Amino acid sequence: MAIVSKEYDVEKILRRKIGHRMDKNGIYYFIKWLHYDESYNTWEPECNLNCDDLVEEFIDGNVIQIDSAKRTPYGIDYWIKYKDGFPNKTYSSIEVHRKWPALVIDFLENHMSIEKQVRFNHTLQFDDEETQPIIEGTNLVGNPIRISYVSMVTREIMYWMEWVNGKKFVTSLEARTNWPDLVLTYLEANLRT
């Protein structure tokens, strides 16, 4: 008599934990099975699952913050904290940039020395109607080529960005939305660990 093995499809991963019944050290996921109601949900060991994309999506969605960063010979490693209290894990800067760029920028902006005054004798003038710094240069073309420095301007983090044909202060929100790779590169280069 042959044993027939049926494979079930995972609809969603609901929780995870370390240890279950006989295996006290393994990682287990609480699974909602596709086409079954919640009474059929089960704890399954990670090795039984064939849904790497759902596992990665669950783990990525469970990140709450970056606790610390450490410069290594290979780049910067970030210590990630999870919502579910799962043990923290270290990720390389490449992984963190791809998965959680906004968290990295938040962490780096909160852990860097930001100039309290505008450097290089830049006198800020504001347009009365928009309360935005006036641009040095007109009709800035393309993407910025570099960030010169970061400063607090009117209690907001601003990036002094340079284009081929001019310079201007850009809010953190605008910079991280439009040029996140440039912001990450600048912040990591200036991180003191």
pLDDT in tens, 180-189: 999 999 998 8
* pLDDT of 118 strictly over 80: no
Same domain, 14 and 50: yes
In a domain, 192, yes or no: no
- Write out pLDDT tens, residues 23-65: 777 889 999 999 999 999 999 998 889 999 999 999 989 998 9
Tell whether 94 is covered by a domain.
yes
In this predicted model, what pLDDT tens digit does every residue of 154-174 receive, in sequence order?
A: 778 889 999 888 888 889 999
What value does the mean pLDDT of the chain take? 82
Reported as a pLDDT band with limits 50, 70 and 90, residue 119 is very low
Q: What whole-number distance in Å separates Cα of residue 152 and Cα of residue 117?
A: 7
Number of Cβ atoms within 10 Å of the Cβ of 96: 23
Domain boundary pick from 75, 110, 145: 110
Regarding whether 69 and 51 lie in a shared domain, the answer is no
Residues 66 and 49 both lie in one domain: no
Residue 142, in any domain of the structure:
no
Q: What is the predicted pLDDT for the residue at 154?
A: 73
In the block, tokens 């280069």 appear at 189
Question: For residue 115, what pLDDT band results from cuts at 50, 70 and 90?
Answer: low
pLDDT value, residue 136 = 55
Q: What is the pLDDT of residue 1?
A: 57
Specify the number of domains making up the chain. 2
Residue 38 lies in a domain: yes
**Contact call for residues 166 and 140 (beta carbons, < 8 A):** yes
- Residue 86 sits in a domain whose CATH number is 2.40.50.40
Confirm whether pTM is higher than 0.75.
no
Residue-number span of the structural domain to which 31 is assigned: 10-55
Domain match, 88 and 70 both: yes
Is residue 129 scored above 50 in pLDDT? no
